[in-house]
Each structure stands twice: as C-alpha cells, then as structure tokens.
Amino acid sequence: MKSFYALFALVAVALVTAACSRAAEPTLAPAEPVPIYAVSEVGGCAMMGPNCLTRLLWSDGTVTIYRQPLIELPLSGLAALSPEATSQVDPSVPQAVIAAIDAADIDLVIAGLPEGQCWACVDGVDFVLLLATGDGEVRIDSADTALDSAVPLIAELNNAAAAMGQNTDLPIVSR
C-alpha cells in the first residue's frame, strides 16, 4: 500500500510539474488585433465632398482610415469595411488607450463632462468617439458632451487621436 501512495505522489508531482511548465511557455501565435477606438469627423468637413474622415485604432497600432463619418456603425462594422488608407502608430498608443479605458469609470466620466456644442451646426466639425470597453462599446459625441482634456480619459483619447491623425490625411475630394 505504501508503494501505491508513493507511486501516486510521484505521478501527481509529475503532472503538476508538466502543467506548470506548459503554463510558463509563451504563446507562439500573437493575439489577433481588435479595434479599440474610433474617431469620426462630422459636419463642415463634408461641405465640398466626402472629406470627413473616420480613423479606427487597432490594438496592434494599425490605423485604418475611411473617407466618411461612420458614426452609425459599431467598431466591428467599421473593422469589416475596406479602408481608404492605413497607417501605423507607436504600439504604446493603443496600450495607453486600453489602460485609460480600463482605469476609467466610463459612465461617471461621461456624466461629469459638461454639455457639448454643435460645431457642425455652424459649418464646424464635431467628433464622435467610439470606445471598446469590457461592457461593450461606448459612444461620445462632442455635440452632446464637451470633450474636456482635463479629464484623464479624454486627454488620452485626444493624444491617441492626434497620433492617429499624423500623416493620415487623404486628398480633398470636391463634388
């Protein structure tokens, strides 16, 4: 009976060791990139033609650019479209966006923001932000809610939008 317990203990130690060593091995295939943040321009940029851009940030730093404001689509709907152009931002940009979203109480942030102003109503440009959160997607429209950069989440989203906007303008299209 002692030999049975010794054998059982030896097998248990071997299984635990094998499981632990497998858990420590790095994953060979990288995670599939996912869309995490979109910025759509709405309003005066459409006066001459389809010149309001939507920029979609992916978790790997890829930015896909579309020539129209796609504010009615969810992130997954944007991701399924063929982009007009693509670019790349430093991988720290999407990491910072994900960290800012994770750290924020989104409902509390939105509730604390002042009322927005409709710049598109006077030939200006409004911005619609779409964020991927653990609870789904959140939409923030600058016509409804002021994008106050004093709020850490909004400041990080503004930084990301600036990085996404570098070298990603498309030629102006006239009607």
pLDDT band per the 50, 70, 90 thresholds, residue 3: very low
pLDDT band per the 50, 70, 90 thresholds, residue 23: very low
Alpha-carbon span 22 to 24, nearest angstrom: 5
- Domain positions in the chain: 35-165
**4-18, 87-101, 159-173, range with the lowest pLDDT:** 4-18
Give pLDDT, residue 39: 93
Q: What is the DSSP string of 3-30?
A: HHHHHHHHHHHHHHHHHHHHHHSPPSSP
Q: What would the CATH number be for the domain defined by 35-165?
A: 3.30.1560
Of 133, 143, 130, which is closest to residue 75 (Cα–Cα)? 130
How many CA within 13 A on the CB side of residue 137?
A: 17
Kindly report, residue by residue over 127-138, the tens digit of the pLDDT. Answer: 999 999 988 999
